Amino acid sequence: MTTRQRGLLLDFGGVISVTLFERHRLSERLLGLPEGTLAWRGPFDPVGDTLWRDMQEGRISERDYWAFRAQETGARVGEDWDMLAMIRRTLGEDPNAHVRPQARDFAFLAKAAGRRVGILSNELELFYGADTMARLDILKLMDCLVDATRTKILKPDPRAYALGCAALGLPPENTVFVDDQQRNVDGAKAAGLIAIRFDVADPAGSFAEAADALEL
């Protein structure tokens, strides 16, 4: 009897796309703000970002964190923003420029090896909008896309992982899941998936770990 190959589910923000923290200087230029205005750095400086620590420790949700940052940043330019508005105003001309090259290469590698690859996201369409998603080339590589914007079931709810595995067409034990939020990694492990914590400070190392788990 042949062994079923493993497949891959990726989070989008942070894993496939660079974080907003990494784009601060570009965002400031696009918004006409002085360099250094955007000082919140999340996982790159958790000591200096108390709101990030509140999110990590469960006192607020991830959506709460980004709603506050969007409102705060919009106010700096005299506008009332939600997260969709902040993404639109700070993307620049080509959203593909913010896709991690390592993520693109990893997706190509996995597909070339015959692995199924999909996305399991909590806020992809909510934050980026359908029009921007249509311009993201990496989404065309995906075999499936499960987004809580549509399903209303957010990670780490075990039902979210069940939906992702079903869309991928694989059981949890054959599904490698990669996410930058520890709570989502823990939820995936509890749901029976092979879960990898993505370190935004070491994308290459994280994708190498995921490649090993995917048995490439």
* Per-residue model confidence (pLDDT) at position 3: 59
Q: Kindly list the domain boundaries of the chain, sorted by start residue.
A: 7-18+99-213, 21-93
**Residue 200, both tokens:** 């935004």
Query: Which residues does 141 contact at the CB level (< 8 Å), separation at least 6?
Result: 107, 108, 111, 117
Classify strands 7-10 and 194-197 as parallel, antiparallel or unpaired.
Answer: unpaired
What pTM, to 2 d.p., does this model score? 0.94
Q: What percent of the chain has pLDDT over 90?
A: 98
Is the per-residue pLDDT at 199 higher than 80?
Answer: yes
Helix (H) / strand (E) element for 196: namely strand 194-197
Q: What pLDDT band is residue 1 in, cutting at 50, 70 and 90?
A: very low
Distances (CA, A) of 39 to 51, 77, 83, 207: 12, 16, 17, 28
* Per-residue model confidence (pLDDT) at position 121: 98
Express each pLDDT in 28-81 by its tens digit. 999 999 999 999 999 999 999 999 999 999 999 999 999 999 999 999 999 999
CATH 3.40.50.150 holds for 7-18+99-213: no
Express each pLDDT in 136-188 by its tens digit. 999 999 999 999 999 999 999 999 999 999 999 999 999 999 999 999 999 99
- Burial per residue of 115-129, b for 16 or more beta-carbon CB atoms within 10 angstroms, e otherwise: bbbbbbbbbbbbbbe
Q: Which of 110, 154, 118 is nearest to 9 (CA)?
A: 118
* Per-residue model confidence (pLDDT) at position 183: 96
Q: What is the DSSP letter of 38?
A: -
Express each pLDDT in 86-135 by its tens digit. 999 999 999 999 999 999 999 999 999 999 999 999 999 999 999 999 99
